[in-house]
Structure 1
Amino acid sequence: MLVEGVVGGGGSSSGPVTVQAGVPGWVHPVCWYEPSLSGADMAAYLDSPRARKDAAMLDRSSLATDLPGYKDHAQDTEGRWYSPMCSSQYAPDGTDYLSLARDYFSSHPSVFVPAGQEPPAPEIDPSVLAAAAWQSVTVPPPATDHNPRLTGSGATVVGVDTWVWATTATPRTLTVTATAATTTVTLTATSTGLSLQAPDSLVSCTGFGTPWTPDATTTDCSLTFTRSSAHLGGTTPLTVSTTYQATWTTTTGRTGTLPPHTTTTTTPLTVAEAQALGTAPTP
């Protein structure tokens, strides 16, 4: 399997972000053709009492209907029949194995391959390739910054809206192209924003946040702490998650979806209380 174009758009800019891909050297097809009996041996079996017994056990009148041309190869001891085979152990997470196997068996009858000719080439179903590619991609955990950030400690303050935003290292959209044999899929994974969690806080976050500047007035990602982090040992754990919804397409028009993928990072954040000294005017 060849994976290309594993990039994503940065959280606070439109530039690409490099994403790691642990690419396996190959992807085993879920369904394939398995070599079976020679033409002579297959004809001998299908015309035998054993075949009639096997057909009865399967509640069928005859097994020969699966190989309508078997008598044409009854004298061939070198060529082989190839039969369809499927195994769930090769189906990646997120694929519908039963549907794949049912469709494959219905569209891939047994075939006879004369000696010296190539057997049917393996086929990789696009859904299998897309799932394998998605599993090979290592999406980086979200990287964020915040404000207020007190000089020296970097702490934020109780009772003040703390802006949180994704830095350029956090992809919003990932684009992956994967190829195996003659099958190519394009996978697109998109996130709608950050998810924040922290003790003693009120969260309002529906996007990737807005980098704070003196001129910035609003953000779609912030939280307000109701208590300092002193009682937690000095810092508050801020957990930030990003969930990606993935879809795939092929040049043949097939499309599909993949299970969502969530990345998470937790960082210690100091939350301080702002102290104010009130003085009465001198009469």
Structure 2
Amino acid sequence: MTIVLTATTAHAFGEGDTKNDTKGESDGNGSLSASTSSIRISYPSGGGGGGGGDKRGNLATIDPNWKPPACWYEPAFTPEQLEEFVDTDGGGDVGIHESWYGKRLWTDHYRDGKPADNFDLHAPTNSTAEGYEDYNLGKDGYFWRGVAPDPSDPESWDCGRIMFWVDAGDIPDDPHAPTPEMLAEYAYNEVKVPETEIELKPEAKSTVNLPTWVWLDEGTFKEVTVRAELPNTGLWAETTAKPVALHLDPGTADAETYPASGDCEINDDDSIGTPYTKGNADRTPPCGIRYLRATSGAPYRLTAGITWQISWEGTGGANGDLPDGTFETTQDMNVQEIQSINR
């Protein structure tokens, strides 16, 4: 679908003024891009930023219907900052799908009080945004803008207002205003967890009807906390991912898992399973797999995934849970018929 925005009588275009429906970048450093948020992310515990050389990746939610927020509104400029932006730049995203290039578009609405259209794709007609006098200089507050990490997401059209005024200390009365829960959901998408590198015995090659032991050393998996703060709102949230189980999928129906559910619980010392020791070949492992049929040609693809339980807390004592996440890795497993292994 192509959307063409046209000028109204209150929005006459001057020389070099353009208006479009795609994500724009402001001149220079892109200081008014609708795909860039001012939310600050930090990692209070668990090394969730992926530093220190460890291998980390993003969680995948186990709920296929859950997704992080597609769009929201947040503070962008004080009156003084907006005046400076218009005088020195004058090009950027006034809304998620509406970009203004040319100083006159900005001065008409934010300096000279002329109304402008919001861009409400899902409404029968665009609503009207009343204009402002002299950028609201002398008032205490912020001009808020819409933000969408992925402007191609159809749900990003739900935040159709152009940049609007909110008094200091207030949160706009809008279904897409930020909340602690929204920040928790945003933080969820920033959680980085260690790769699932399991220990096996035998390694990469098993034997029909004899168990393969699976374990992870203690201390490998610890809670990861991500904090999201939205400046100039007082809003924050911390999302914590707690490892609760290792799930094994042997890659074939011709196999049994230990335990039968395939879920190996995490021990009190943050280890999983029990390391294989000499003489344990015929014992049942607390965490492991027994293949019932040998591979023929292609190996089985063993999948090991850590399940992470997600909770959050935020401003004013708000708290709750989010869908569990998982991080999976796979490796080839060859299974032979000979019913013996090295002890």
TM-score (norm 1): 0.55
2:193 is matched with 139
Q: Does 1:227 align with 2:293?
A: yes
For 1:59-97, what per-residue CA distance to the aligned partner results, in whole angstroms no more than 9, with x for missing partners? xxxxxxxxxxxxxxxxx86746889867584699xxx99
1:161 is matched with 211
SS across alignment from 1:130: helix
1:243 is matched with 307
- Once the 2 structures are TM-superposed, how far is the Cα of residue 162 of structure 1 from its aligned partner? 1.7
1:260 is matched with 324
Alignment of 1:1-40 (within 5 A): 1-7=40-46, 20=56, 30-32=72-74
Task: Give the one of 187, 191, 206 matched to 2:239.
Answer: 187
Give the Cα separation in 2 of the matches to 1:165 and 1:250. 35
Give the Cα separation in 2 of the matches to 1:133 and 1:78. 33
- Once the 2 structures are TM-superposed, how far is the Cα of residue 161 of structure 1 from its aligned partner? 2.0
Q: Taking structure 1 as reference, are residues 180 and 214 closer, same or farther at Cα in structure 2, changes over 3 Å only?
A: farther
Give the Cα separation in 1 of the matches to 2:136 and 2:239. 41
SS across alignment from 2:276: coil
SS across alignment from 2:223: strand
Q: Does 1:196 align with 2:235?
A: no
1:128 is matched with 182
Task: Give the one of 263, 271, 279 matched to 1:206.
Answer: 263
Is contact 2:209-2:290 (8 Å) kept? Answer: yes
2:317 maps to a residue whose letter is: G
- Once the 2 structures are TM-superposed, how far is the Cα of residue 139 of structure 1 from its aligned partner? 2.5
Q: Taking structure 1 as reference, are residues 79 and 227 closer, same or farther at Cα in structure 2, changes over 3 Å only?
A: closer
Give the Cα separation in 2 of the matches to 1:162 and 1:267. 14
- Once the 2 structures are TM-superposed, how far is the Cα of residue 224 of structure 1 from its aligned partner? 1.0
Give the Cα separation in 1 of the matches to 2:54 and 2:170. 38
SS across alignment from 2:228: strand
- Once the 2 structures are TM-superposed, how far is the Cα of residue 250 of structure 1 from its aligned partner? 2.0
Instruction: Compare CA radii of gyration and give the structure with the larger one.
Output: 1
Structure 2: give runs of 5+ residues left out of the alignment: 1-39, 59-68, 80-108, 116-132, 265-271
SS across alignment from 2:44: strand
Is contact 1:8-1:173 (8 Å) kept? Answer: no
- Once the 2 structures are TM-superposed, how far is the Cα of residue 176 of structure 1 from its aligned partner? 2.6
**Equivalent pairs, count:** 216
Is contact 2:54-2:194 (8 Å) kept? Answer: no
Give the Cα separation in 2 of the matches to 1:144 and 1:211. 11
Q: Taking structure 1 as reference, are residues 161 and 17 closer, same or farther at Cα in structure 2, changes over 3 Å only?
A: farther
For 1:239-265, what per-residue CA distance to the aligned partner results, in whole angstroms no more than 9, with x for missing partners? 112232311112520113334322211
Is contact 1:178-1:186 (8 Å) kept? Answer: yes
For 1:36-63, what per-residue CA distance to the aligned partner results, in whole angstroms no more than 9, with x for missing partners? 767x959xx9xxxxxxxxxxxxxxxxxx
Is contact 1:141-1:241 (8 Å) kept? Answer: no
SS across alignment from 1:252: helix
Structure 1: give runs of 5+ residues left out of the alignment: 10-15, 46-75, 102-108, 113-117, 277-283
